[in-house]
């Protein structure tokens, strides 16, 4: 590995205790990725976990090329990455967001259509995809499962990476009758080969012109308390980066 290469740590903790005895150098090297020269280090700091989570939720059910993908929460960190990766993989992407001001984020990430979550969302999605959505990237499983089921195509899939309630009700029969597949994705346990594929896909997106995630502010390390305040009481969308001294 080039000692002067710009590397990004995408996983900030060691494996769990039960697996720690098997850790060796090669496994630790799999936790960093080379950052393209054209990409600022600050952008690299944003993309580790969101990018790998997004790539897994987009691809876990198989190729999305030529399919319709619904990304719920397309203006969030994982959501915007998922929109871009699905777009670059050849999918038609429908994204949702909660505020009018968030629509541009999803659009710039590559969404073909962006819908606000107010009103009859399922009806508006069905109008765009009369034959149903083939795959859903889900950020709020409990809140959105009803809508997801109303728009899911026969044999479709849902990959959820977050939830708004710890013990959601699952509409078993509705899922069974459409032969749905549901994937619960946690970034810590994504297979190593999938993580490598994710870093390659993210690099390709960045080198292809994607600007990455919005950065709201860069704060020096000696003002880290202020960084926490900015996250807790954000005045504008985007990530807050803590910059280490040179």
CATH of the domain at 119: 3.90.180.10
The pTM of this model reads 0.87
Residue that terminates a domain, selected from 189, 208, 238: 189
Residue 237 belongs to some domain of the structure = yes
Instruction: Let me know whether 172 and 229 are in one domain.
Output: no
Q: Distances from the Cα of 116 to the Cαs of 6, 32, 71, 145, 177, in angstroms?
A: 38, 36, 12, 17, 28
Q: From the first residue on, what is the mean pLDDT of each consecutive set of 10 residues in the chain (246 residues)?
A: 50 44 47 76 89 97 98 96 98 97 95 96 98 98 96 98 91 95 89 91 93 94 95 89 89
pLDDT tens, position by position, 145-174 = 999 999 999 999 999 999 999 899 999 999
Instruction: Let me know whether 243 and 168 are in one domain.
Output: no
Instruction: Let me know whether 154 and 222 are in one domain.
Output: no
Q: What pLDDT score does 6 carry? A: 55
Instruction: Let me know whether 100 and 153 are in one domain.
Output: yes
Residue 122 belongs to some domain of the structure = yes
CA distance 45 to 238: 13
Instruction: Let me know whether 62 and 168 are in one domain.
Output: yes
Instruction: Let me know whether 138 and 231 are in one domain.
Output: no
Residue 104 belongs to some domain of the structure = yes
Write out the H or E segment, with its range, that includes residue 83. Answer: helix 77-88
Q: 158 forms bridges with which residues in the sheet?
A: 136, 182
Neighbours of 225 (CB within 10 A): 9
The range of the structural domain enclosing residue 69 comes to 52-189
Residue 239 belongs to some domain of the structure = yes
For residue 187, what is the DSSP state?
Answer: G
Are 55 and 85 in contact by the 8 Å Cβ rule? The answer is yes
Instruction: Let me know whether 182 and 222 are in one domain.
Output: no
Q: 138 forms bridges with which residues in the sheet?
A: 160
Identify the residue whose tokens are 């960084």. 227
Instruction: Let me know whether 224 and 120 are in one domain.
Output: no
Q: Considering its fold, how many domains does the chain have in total?
A: 2
Q: What pLDDT score does 16 carry? A: 42
Instruction: Let me know whether 169 and 221 are in one domain.
Output: no
Q: What pLDDT score does 15 carry? A: 44
Of 138, 76, 141, 140, nearest to 109 (Cα)? 76
Residue 151 belongs to some domain of the structure = yes
Instruction: Let me know whether 110 and 225 are in one domain.
Output: no
Residue that terminates a domain, selected from 173, 189, 205: 189
């Amino acid at each position: 590995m080039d000692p002067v290469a710009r590397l990004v740590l995408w996983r900030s903790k060691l494996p769990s205790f039960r697996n720690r005895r098997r850790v060796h150098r090669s496994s630790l090297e799999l936790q960093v990725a080379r950052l393209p020269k054209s990409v600022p280090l600050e952008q690299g700091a944003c993309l580790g976990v969101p990018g790998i989570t997004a790539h897994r939720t987009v691809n876990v059910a198989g190729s999305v090329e030529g399919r319709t993908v619904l990304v719920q929460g397309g203006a969030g960190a994982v959501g915007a990455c998922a929109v871009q990766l699905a777009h670059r993989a050849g999918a038609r992407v429908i994204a949702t967001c909660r505020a009018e001001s968030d629509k541009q984020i999803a659009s710039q990430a590559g969404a073909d259509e962006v819908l606000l979550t107010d009103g009859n969302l399922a009806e508006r999605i069905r109008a765009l995809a009369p034959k149903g959505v083939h795959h859903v990237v889900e950020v709020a499983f409990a809140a959105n499962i009803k809508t997801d089921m109303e728009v899911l195509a026969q044999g479709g899939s849902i990959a959820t990476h977050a939830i708004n309630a710890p013990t959601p009700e699952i509409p078993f029969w509705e899922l069974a009758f459409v032969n749905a597949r549901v994937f619960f994705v946690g970034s810590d346990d994504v297979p190593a080969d999938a993580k490598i594929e994710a870093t390659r896909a993210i690099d390709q997106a960045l080198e292809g012109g994607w600007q990455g995630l919005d950065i709201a502010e860069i704060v020096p390390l000696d003002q880290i308390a202020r960084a926490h305040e900015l996250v807790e009481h954000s005045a504008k969308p985007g990530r807050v980066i803590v910059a280490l001294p040179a």
